[in-house]
Structure 1
Amino acid sequence: MKALPLFVVVLLVVSPVLAAADSGGVANQATALDGAAFAQTQPPANETIRVLDITEDSLVQSTVESENIDLGPSLDFAALRAGGQIQKYASIQRIESVGDDVSLRSQLILGELNRVEQRAIALQSAQQSAITQYNADELSSRELLVELARIDAEARDLDDRRIALRELATETPDFSVDPGRLAALERELDTFTGPVRAHATDVLSGNADPTRFSVRTSQDGVVLSTVTDDSYIREVYRGDLRNRDESGLSPTVALDTVAGSYPEVWESRATQNGADVVGAGNSYLVRINHDRGQLFAYVDSGSENVFKEAQIRPLDSVSRGTPATEVKDGLNLTVYRTYPGGPLRIQLNESASDDPIDANVTIGVEASQESTLLGRTGPDGAIWTVSPSSPYTITVIRGNAAVVLTTSPTPTPELSTNTSAPSNSTTTNSQSTPPTETTTAAQ
């Protein structure tokens, strides 16, 4: 089975106890996909996991485009990483240089923490500005990905500084930083990070092969997705589902919200890892390791809705979707249709023998005069990509034979906002470490 080549950054679920010192958001849980413990089972063909998405009436822009190495952004990312490290170590040195002067040391730690918080606020403005400019056709899809990847990289660097400051505070006698403040800052920085953005950095920097990204935006939201050699990865941010109210939400309610929003995920969560929740400030992160992948869902404390999502799904656990087939010139072309931005499998076989065929596949989108080469189907006759948002045409030419199939994406299995499962749905969480609020576990 062949997919558009890609290196993927994936997030591993950890228990809240391990998350006590570092609550394990998207920004600091990146590791190789090979380390994930997925149950490799083929799902029912008609079972689709729900996803957070942008509603059709609020959709402003939607595209799927190939991205590859770009020297300019690559140099910018390298400079950003180097600058972040320099700032972090300069802060550490400045604080440690005061020696045993606890008062001055404490003031410096709090001052550096204030600066990190101010940068987090600036990143929020930068992200919204990038979305607004893209919607107004002032940025291309590549330029939007570059900007979101840059914001992702800076957020990760800021979280490194947050961790360093937390450790310096721990080492300072008779001084502590409110653990809730540190955890709330981490949750806020999580807003700007994700596995697709991290991968975009690798592609643009030449550390991963070119691949196709789906980009969908609303006035204050963005959906990004792509397919790797063996996984489908997706991240979503919906600013309209946030009101930043810090009161009225408990870990149990956060779990119930996610259980009700993702019933398939909740029912199939791994028995050993279950689900856990960490939170502080105005949001909670619920992490679920299930038999078809991983889910990271962020619940807003005010609206009690999931406003951000990251999903990682191994391709052999992805449902095939709704098939559309065309047979011509001895070629049997089947497209397993899925929702806009969803994982799309294209299968090519001999019509007589059903043997797989290795051939080039192109895709063209409605209203476009151009077709894009996806690549070859490979020895199993299959290739994966992400679905366009509008009708599209798949074309295969093999020698003098050709087959063309025009079809459309399926409806998105969207979440229901402000929906939660019955309160007793969290009782099965006893299979893993009980959920703990970051504010009570840190430090």
Structure 2
Amino acid sequence: MRAWGRVRRPCVSGWLLLSGVWGLCAVAAAAPRGDYNVFLEQTYTDNAPLEADAQSDWLTVLGVEGVLSEHGGRLDADLRARVAREEYYRNTVEDDTALSLLADTRFWLRPRTLSWAFYDRFARVGETVEDAERPGAQQNANVVWTGPDAAFHLGPVDDWLLGGRVGHTYFESDADSVRYAANTGWRHRTDENAELTVIGRAQQVDFKEQSDTAIDYDRYDLFAGHQRTGGSPLQWRAQLGMSRVELDGRDSDDALLLDSEVTYRRSAPTLVGARLAHQYTDATGRLLDTSGILRGLEPVTDLSVGTSLIYERRYELFFRREAPIWTAEARGYYVDEDFKTEDSDRDISGLRLSGSRSLSARADLGGEVYGERIHYQLFEREDKDYGASVSLTWRLGSELRLRGAVGHIVRNSDVDAAEYEENRVLIALVYGGSLD
């Protein structure tokens, strides 16, 4: 028998809806700062569906995107949204309206003591881990996560922490789940920029439709953490402890819980960072993963629909250098994924290099190259992906820009049907401004 019992889903959905409406209204009422873009893109590609049997097509995209931010007073909020209509002239891929949303808000009912958090992420994800990037093999996913947090002051530098969350994950397939979480712990502030924590956390995950891969489970974590987020060129966030997972009808599984990030800014224009993690996660956990010093970077692994619990070992290195007229970034990574209820175990390694340079007061040049190897450990398949792109942006006015880009990608695979190659040319007109 599950230790947590079950809660009726209509009650959960009602709480999520009320929290979402409240969170978005609070952001809108706060007169936040932000930026927006309206864009029209025309792309020619010689392999629109990214398949071995290449099919060329013209793609027209019309959309709008924006970023809102508000920090101060009773509200901390970050919103990012993009909606675009995608039309394929030759119907090689089905036309679609693509929406992506990230809403991360916290309203302080009592300053720095009692708050309510609301998180919503809507994204397009792959239907399988093998084909996560194929335009014709994707579906929408939405994760909503909300609940209260409280800090009871035990002294000048000590707090007792309590928190709770309820969430729902929606997929277009039958992979929906409801999850409940609670945590408690102790926090000690060593100085104004650093703190030490000891946290216990419990989580219950219930799938709408159970199957051989969608198995309800309970998870328990106990860990200590330390972080420094200012006051020094060296900053870090580290957690170390143990996790226990109890899958319905199976033996419990104990594993190391380790999640750490460190950055070093030697001088204002140079940033070096690293991440090391050994932890349980799943498709929902990856959609929720926006914490940490390296927040804002694209995920290393492609997001895909999934119900399996995963134990991942992740290692990342990151470098950024900024100068008055150019920037350069490099990122290397290795990820080992152990799927608990699916035969999709794999390891991923890769390197990405990108940069930009200002050519004049009106023109900017940008580029990226990458290589990635994906090895599926339980069957004979290894994919090697390579890509390169170059873009040129010309400012026609203070708010109007013209952008052109060319790109080339290729996948070499042990499975002939999985191989593909694509060349594309893009031209875009972008109108954007600030909401300040």
TMscore range, shorter length: under 0.3
Structure with the higher fraction of residues in strand conformation = 2
Q: Which has the higher contact order (CA 8 A, sep 6+)?
A: 1
More helix by proportion, 1 or 2? 1
Scaled by the length of structure 2, what TM-score is found? 0.24
